[in-house]
Structure 1
Amino acid sequence: MFQAVSAKLAQTLLVLLIVSAASFTFLKLAPGDPVSIMLGSDYSKTSYDQLTHELGLDQPVVFQYGHWLANFVRGDWGISYITNQDIFELAVMQALPVTLTLAALSLLIALLIGIPTGVLAALYRNSWIDVLATTLAIGGNAFPSFYLGIILIWVFGVDLGWFPVLGFVAPWEDFWQGLWHLALPAVTLGAWYVGLIARITRSSLLEVLGQPYILAAKARGEPGWRVVWVHGMRNVLMPLVTVIGLQLGGMLRGAVMTEVVFALPGLGMMVTTAVLNREYIVVQAGIMLTGLLFVAVNLAVDQTYQFLDPRLRRR
């Protein structure tokens, strides 16, 4: 057990190291000069060279990366050139909770709609319910998040006035106001995953319902809901968790456009603003946080398997 955990941690550290080195190198090749941004439009060559030396930007990229990595591990992520804020506080304390809240609410909506839709489609295979559920699933996959967000803003925000179209209220400060402000962004981000979860649930449940243990449960006279939701869904959870774990990265990617459309102060908005301002040190922080989230989700999925499948549990 200890060796398996150690191997996972070693792989995790190696992945993060590769991600940090690759992203740092590519950002150095990107256009834009942070020194020019910090000095403004009017500066002398002497002041430019002096600030470049103070920031260590005149050193080789390898030394710059080593210096950045040592500071990053210690929690010193630097200072934003534009806002003059500590980047660790900006990314972890301010932007990350917004993105995690949006992703969690979007995933909850996708599960609450996608799983029952997939179950109904499987139970009423080739009926009008199955056709309707499949149509909704394909439709949810077909709409890009930014386009769906604009439509929702136009219909439910502008025309009907049911929901706010801009701004963010933290649910941990005002729960109901927070949910009200996050309703449209969460639906926008979760719509694609409703279709994905519904399709995976349908196909997996159809396969499970033909297994001998399901037929035996029916022969024992167990209620239909128990056959489906206890015996059937127990074995559907494994592929469902796998797909959700693999696609959570896509949800974080989709959160970028969603946060931009709805002006939410999350990681997506932070990275987008930093790219536009050529503030690549902030972009690097956003990339590393995203990588950490990817790794954390994969580790959580691996541990979840042991609870879903007793055969994987170590005694």
Structure 2
Amino acid sequence: MIRALFSKLMQTLLVLVGVSIAAFFFLKLAPGDPVALMLGAEYSPAAYAKLTRELGLDLPWPQQYLHWLAGFVRGEWGTAYISHADIFQQAVYEALPITLTLSALSLAVALLLGVPAGVLAALRRGGALDLFVSSLSVLGSAIPSFYLGIVLVWVFGVNLGWFPAMGFVRPWEDFASGMHHLALPVITLGTYYAGLIAITTRSSLIDVMGNPFIDAVRARGEPMWRVIWVHAMRNVLMPLTTVIGLQLGGLLRGAVMTEVVFAIPGLGMLITTAVLNREYGVVQAGVMLTALFFVLVNLLVDQTYQWLDPRLRRR
């Protein structure tokens, strides 16, 4: 087990190194000159050369990459060109908690809606309820999050005025106002994943309910709620965990568009703004944080398998 964990950690490290190389060199190929953006419309060649030298942009690309990677590992991510803010402070302490809060609440909503809906559909297989839940799940998974967000803003934010159309209040500073501002973004992001979770729960539970051990449990006279939520759902957790783990990366990807639509100052908005302003350091930090979160989630999912299925602990 320890050897397998060490192997996974090494794979995670290699993935992060690969992402860092791609994030650094692909941005170098993007059009735009950060030095010219910093200096403004008018500047002298001497000022341009001096600033290029101070930023280390006159060095060869491999040397720039190694210098940036060493600083990134130490937490020295540099300063943003436009805002002159510390990138580490801006990304880790300000933007990342907002994105993680949005993603966590969206996942909670998706689970609270998707799991019961999938169970009801499986128990009423072939009936009107099953058809309704399945159709709604497919519809929710098919609608792009940015389009759903725009519709929700127009209906509930602009026309009805029930929720703020955009903006963000930190829930840890003002819980009521923060949840009020997050209601529409959470519904927007959680709806898509609720559909996927409902479909997975339905199909997995139908397979499990057909196994002989379920007939044996029912023959012992156990109540139906215990048969489903204790015995059957224990076997549904494996495929459900796989779907959740694979989709958590997509949850962050969807958070980018959701944050842009609702003007939420999270990691997605930070990266989008940085791309438009050619803030290479900010984009690299955002991409690395996203990749780090994604690989850590997958590592956690792998370890969760061993907790859910004791047979895997001996491998």
TM-score of the pair, normalised by structure 1: 0.98
Shift of 1:145: 0.7
Shift of 1:4: 2.4
- Output the CA distance in 1 between the equivalents of 2:314 and 2:74: 35
- Output the CA distance in 2 between the equivalents of 1:42 and 1:264: 33
Shift of 1:313: 2.6
Matches within 5 A, 1:41-60: 41-60=41-60
- Output the CA distance in 1 between the equivalents of 2:2 and 2:111: 34
Partner of 1:300: 300
- Output the CA distance in 2 between the equivalents of 1:98 and 1:152: 20
Shift of 1:2: 3.0
Paired amino acid for 1:192: Y
Root-mean-square deviation (CA), in Å? Answer: 1.0
Paired amino acid for 2:248: L
Shift of 1:234: 0.4
Shift of 1:236: 0.2
Unaligned runs of 5+ in 2: none
Partner of 2:232: 232
Q: In terms of mean alpha carbon deviation, does 169-178 or 186-195 score higher?
A: 169-178
Q: In terms of mean alpha carbon deviation, does 7-16 or 102-111 score higher?
A: 7-16
2:136 is the alignment partner of 1:136: yes
SS at match of 1:126: coil
- Output the CA distance in 2 between the equivalents of 1:98 and 1:160: 26
Shift of 1:131: 0.5
Partner of 2:199: 199
Unaligned runs of 5+ in 1: none
- Output the CA distance in 1 between the equivalents of 2:314 and 2:99: 35
Matches within 5 A, 1:3-152: 3-152=3-152
Q: What whole-Å deviation, never above 9, does each CA across 1:47-96 have from its counterpart, x for those lacking one?
A: 11111111111111100000000110100001001111000000000000
Paired amino acid for 2:171: P
Partner of 1:252: 252
Q: What whole-Å deviation, never above 9, does each CA across 1:109-144 have from its counterpart, x for those lacking one?
A: 000000000001000001000000011101101211
- Output the CA distance in 1 between the equivalents of 2:130 and 2:116: 12
- Output the CA distance in 2 between the equivalents of 1:201 and 1:254: 22
- Output the CA distance in 2 between the equivalents of 1:203 and 1:72: 44
Shift of 1:5: 2.4
Paired amino acid for 1:107: L
- Output the CA distance in 2 between the equivalents of 1:220 and 1:102: 44
Q: In terms of mean alpha carbon deviation, does 297-306 or 4-13 score higher?
A: 4-13
Shift of 1:3: 2.3
SS at match of 1:51: helix
Shift of 1:100: 0.2
Paired amino acid for 2:180: W
- Displacement over 3 Å in runs of 4+: none
SS at match of 1:68: helix
Paired amino acid for 2:95: A
SS at match of 1:217: helix
Matches within 5 A, 1:183-198: 183-198=183-198
Paired amino acid for 1:18: G
Shift of 1:195: 0.7
Shift of 1:162: 1.1
Matches within 5 A, 1:257-296: 257-296=257-296
Pairs aligned (count)? 315
Paired amino acid for 1:305: Y
- Output the CA distance in 1 between the equivalents of 2:138 and 2:58: 52
Shift of 1:17: 0.5
Shift of 1:314: 4.4
Q: What whole-Å deviation, never above 9, does each CA across 1:223-262 have from its counterpart, x for those lacking one?
A: 0111111111000000000011001111110101000000
